């Protein structure tokens, strides 16, 4: 199956690359491997062939602080976001029982994502290619 990354996530990755051109990409990811294909994951292409998730490596040495990126996105309440996972916590843009939207909660999935942030976007907003509100002026990266 032919696939492509959601345009919104391509824009996010490009913005981060411009702000931190020397950053590590060791834990970056887009389309999932065969193990992902056997599970429900936004790293799998959807029916339109669009991958709606990206992983960005946490690399404070080269000024990529995933917690700051996550907080900037949380503060902006970007309507493209479905959820984010980083360092044992998950944030959803929608409410769950006892967990309000846009708040961090413990993540108990198979990987706590300590080396990268996982960002999933909503399929209906995946190709919104507007800029993300992360920049050095805002102290977000």
For the segment 7-35, what is each residue's pLDDT rounded down to a tens digit? 999 999 999 999 999 999 999 999 988 88
82-94 tens-digit pLDDT = 999 999 999 999 9
Cα–Cα dist 133/140, whole Å? 8
CB-based burial, 71-87: b 16+ in 10 Å, e otherwise: bbbbebebebbbbbbbb
């Amino acid at each position: 199956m032919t696939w492509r990354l959601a345009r919104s996530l391509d824009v996010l990755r490009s913005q981060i690359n411009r702000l931190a051109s020397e950053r590590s990409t060791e834990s970056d990811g887009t389309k999932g491997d065969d193990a992902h294909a056997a599970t429900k994951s936004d790293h799998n292409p959807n029916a339109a062939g669009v991958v709606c998730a990206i992983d960005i490596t946490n690399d404070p040495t080269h000024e990529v602080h995933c917690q700051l990126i996550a907080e900037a996105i949380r503060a902006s309440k970007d309507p493209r976001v479905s959820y984010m996972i980083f360092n044992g916590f998950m944030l959803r843009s929608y409410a769950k029982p006892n967990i309000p939207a846009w708040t961090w909660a413990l993540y108990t999935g198979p990987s706590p994502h300590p080396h990268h942030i996982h960002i999933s976007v909503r399929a209906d907003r995946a190709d919104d290619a507007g800029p993300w509100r992360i920049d050095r002026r805002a102290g977000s990266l």
